[in-house]
Amino acid sequence: MKKYETVKKKREFDEIIHQEKCKKNNSYIIYNKESNYSYPRFGIAVGKKIGNAVTRNKIKRQVRDIITKNKKLFKNNRDYIIIVKRKVLSLSYQQMEREMKSLLQE
């Protein structure tokens, strides 16, 4: 995932989350909204309930890697916010990837 493909501003996060388009499963909530960019942009949110900073950063790195490997599943001209749920702690990397793919292919 390239640096320009990230959503960082709180205002942008809030705009995307307050849209009605969202998909959920036991591990993730994915919000999306149309954007003016010709490529998809991503924001990843991992709450403090998931663990300490080391754990949260590890999960974010894994989610970024999953996004990079499966970029073809994301549509261009869209912004995505991926909220990670606590259930992810009990999953392996392969299971995390499977959960993300199944959610995106719905």
The CATH number linked to 83 is 3.30.230.10
Q: Is residue 77 part of a domain?
A: yes
Which residues lie closer than 8 Å to 14 by C-beta, 6 or more apart?
none
Which residues lie closer than 8 Å to 98 by C-beta, 6 or more apart?
none
Mark residue 47 as left, alpha or beta (left: phi above 0; alpha: psi -120 to 50; beta: remaining): beta
Say how many domains are in the chain.
1
Q: Is residue 80 part of a domain?
A: yes
User: Per residue in 88-100, pLDDT tens?
Assistant: 999 999 999 999 9
Q: Is residue 106 part of a domain?
A: no
Read off the pLDDT band of 62 (50, 70, 90): very high
pTM of the model: 0.87
CB atoms closer than 10 angstroms to residue 71: 14
Q: Which of 26, 36, 56 is nearest to 44 (CA)?
A: 56
- The pLDDT score that the predictor gives to residue 60 is 92
Q: Is residue 94 part of a domain?
A: yes
Q: Is residue 104 part of a domain?
A: no
Distance between CA 83 and CA 55 in Å, rounded?
Answer: 15
Would you call 52 helix, strand, or coil by DSSP? coil
Q: Is residue 9 part of a domain?
A: yes
Q: Is the pLDDT of residue 59 over 90?
A: yes
Containing domain of residue 88, as a range?
A: 3-98
